């Protein structure tokens, strides 16, 4: 079964600093990969997704992610963090074939705190 690991439960950065959130997945074939952001008490907003093609994916709010098949990783990056980026971030994977087609599997989430 596919799985997603976000090794960092909580990350704190200063405003203006760069950010990298880690995501590792376990899946035999090429997965579909997503990053979502959630503000407290709200639903999930899609930041970006990777299906195929260019392994560097650009998303909304200045975020990008790079798919590295050799490392089974899909890390999220932002060059300069803003205070409004404070939220919880989730990495997710979909099995692109087989009986589990369509179901998202989520990591445990990473809470981002931004210091002024």
For another protein, the binding residues (CB under 8 A) are: 4, 9, 32, 34, 36, 41-46, 49, 51, 90, 94, 96, 101-109
CB of 79 to another protein, least distance (A): 24
What's the Cα-to-Cα distance from 1 to each of 11, 35, 84, 98, rounded to whole Å? 28, 20, 35, 11
CB of 45 to another protein, least distance (A): 8
**Is the four-CA dihedral 93, 98, 102, 104 of positive or negative sign?**
negative
Strands 44-50 and 32-38: antiparallel
For another protein, the closer of residues 46 and 56 by Cβ is 46
For another protein, the closer of residues 15 and 73 by Cβ is 73
Instruction: Identify which of 46, 34, 27, 21 has the alpha carbon closest to the alpha carbon of residue 91.
Output: 34
CB of 66 to another protein, least distance (A): 19
For another protein, the closer of residues 43 and 116 by Cβ is 43
């Amino acid at each position: 079964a596919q799985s997603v690991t976000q090794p960092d439960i909580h990350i704190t950065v200063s405003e203006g600093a760069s950010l990298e959130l880690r995501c590792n997945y376990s899946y035999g074939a090429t997965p579909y990969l997503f990053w979502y952001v959630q503000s407290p008490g709200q639903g999930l907003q899609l930041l970006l997704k990777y299906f195929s093609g260019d392994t560097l994916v650009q998303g909304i709010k200045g975020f990008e992610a790079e798919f590295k098949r050799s490392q089974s990783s899909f890390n999220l990056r932002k060059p300069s963090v803003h205070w409004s980026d404070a939220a919880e971030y989730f990495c997710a994977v979909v099995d692109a074939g087989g009986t589990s087609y369509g179901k998202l599997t989520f990591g445990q989430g990473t809470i981002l705190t931004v210091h002024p």
